[in-house]
Amino acid sequence: MTRRLLTLALLCAGFALAQNRVYELRTYTCNEGKLPDLLKRFRDHTITIFNRHGIESIGYWVPQDPEKSKNTLIYIVAHPSRDAATKNWKEFGADPEWQKVNTESNANGRIISKVESVFMDPTDFSKLK
């Protein structure tokens, strides 16, 4: 009986965590000619640092539109909750490795000119929960 209660409690806790999970859609607009630098920074550094701070990468895209494909990165990350997202981004920004990578990658001019962020909840019919 105790094992069943423990299993049920763990399932309920997991469900509660999943219910609070939040997705974040981020769109970065780069300064002219800087998209390759941004992609390199994500590929070589940023995602690894995200992982260290509880920021789960879902996917990364460059638009097909000819103009936006020159300067735009769109990506989705997930956090356990909005409060966790605030904590994760604060810790990410304070990470010494991130600060070093950010400074070095902007040495020849700022990479990003604009950041947009939208927090999203999945619908009941979404494949992602």
Has residue 80 got a pLDDT over 60?
Answer: yes
| pTM to 2 decimal places | 0.83
Rounded Cα distance between 117 and 86, Å, is: 12
25-39 confidence digits (pLDDT tens): 999 999 999 999 999
Architecture of domain 22-120 in CATH?
Answer: 2-Layer Sandwich (3.30)
Domain ranges for the chain, please list them.
Answer: 22-120
Note the pLDDT of residue 86: 97
- Rounded to the nearest integer, the mean pLDDT of the chain is 89
C-beta separation of 115 from 20 below 8 A: no
Strand 22-30 to strand 112-120: parallel, antiparallel, or no bridges (unpaired)?
Answer: antiparallel
Q: Which of 20, 69, 26, 17 is nearest to 47 (CA)?
A: 26
C-beta separation of 15 from 110 below 8 A: no
Rounded Cα distance between 67 and 29, Å, is: 11
| Between residues 110 and 5, the one the model is more confident about | 110
DSSP state of 44: I
Edge-to-edge strand ranges of the sheet holding 72-79: 56-61, 72-79, 22-30, 112-120
Q: What is the mean pLDDT of the segment spanning 74-90?
A: 97
